[in-house]
Amino acid sequence: MSGAIPPREAAVSVRGLSKAYRGQPVHAGLDLDLRRGDILSVFGPNGCGKSTLINMMAGLLPADAGSVLFDGRTVAEARIGYVFQNYREALMPWKRAADNIRYPLRLMGRPRAEVERRLEALVAAFQVRFDLDRYPYEMSGGQQQLVSVMRALAVEPEVLFLDEPFSALDYETTLSLRELLGRVLKENRVTAMLVSHDLEESIALSDRVLMLTRRPARIVDDVPVPLPWPRGAETLLSPEFVAIKRRCLDVFTASVRATPEAVS
């Protein structure tokens, strides 16, 4: 189902990825490819292993079996970015916001001038109008998560992973951040993978939605999202969006009903 992408176009190839918790398989031989420049979102029932999948791909969690290759290289050799759900615990509160964004570049030993150029480019791209010389705890949740996104993008990652990036924010902030992020990712042709438990967000921010079943997770549908960018609030009302959402919802309810499983 996912082998349709030619190897040269794939930024990430996942083959036979498996993981079990206490003998219970979460993933059993999962294959997927992420096309360069695409935003892929993964959607499925609660506990289906979405976060496990993204964490294994990003190298935060060891897989039991299988491989994740970034253009033929392992995650340790690749340059990736990761945005955590909990920005409060992901940013370093002892560093000012700007230093948080500079941190990965300094870690890579980039010269000072280049670090500053990159920071300025990010500020321009995201049209940041708030003061980055403040500490994260002095900022709103939306501003903190924007700083997290800028930090993840600072190194110009080959793949950006986003784990429920907006789920701790209010709807108004989510809408504006989602639109901003979608625009910047598309303008810079960033390859990204999003995990979200919000179907609307999964569709609005992606070029392709993978629908997963309950564990062990299988890909039951691979839904293209050919909606034009940039996407704003009006996109959510377009007939095309509604049709995609209906298709996803049908697959979702069918897959949830198909495997009656005791609620754990």
The footprint of other proteins (CB under 8 A) covers: 58-60, 80-82, 84, 86, 89-94, 103-104, 107-108, 135, 137, 151, 155
Closest by Cα among 210, 213, 230 to 221: 210
Rounded to the nearest whole angstrom, what is the least distance from the CB of residue 264 to other proteins in the complex? 23
Please identify, using beta-carbon distances, which residue of 28 and 155 lies nearer to other proteins. Answer: 155
CB of 66 to other proteins, least distance (A): 20
| Closest CB 133 distance from other proteins, rounded Å | 14
Smallest distance, other proteins to C-beta of residue 242, A: 36
Q: Which is nearer to other proteins, 57 or 251 (CB)?
A: 57
Q: Which is nearer to other proteins, 77 or 261 (CB)?
A: 77
H helices of 190-238, where?
Answer: 199-204
H or E element at residue 69: strand 65-70
Q: Tell me the angle at which helices 112-125 and 141-153 cross, rounded to the nearest 10 degrees.
A: 130
Would you give the DSSP letter of residue 228?
A: P
Which strands form 208-212's sheet, in the order they lie side by side?
80-83, 159-163, 192-195, 39-43, 208-212, 219-224
Q: How far is the CB of 160 from other proteins (least distance, A)?
A: 11
- Closer residue to other proteins (CB): 130 or 135: 135
By beta-carbon proximity to other proteins, the closer residue of 61 and 243 is 61
Residue that is written with structure tokens 């070029």 in the block: 207
State the burial class of residue 160 (Cβ atoms within 10 Å of its Cβ: 0-12, 13-18, 19+).
buried
Quick one: 99 or 222, whose CB is closer to other proteins? 99
Q: In the bound complex, what is the minimum distance in angstroms from residue 243's beta carbon to other proteins? A: 36
Instruction: For residue 94, give the nearest of 85, 86, 103 by alpha carbon.
Output: 103
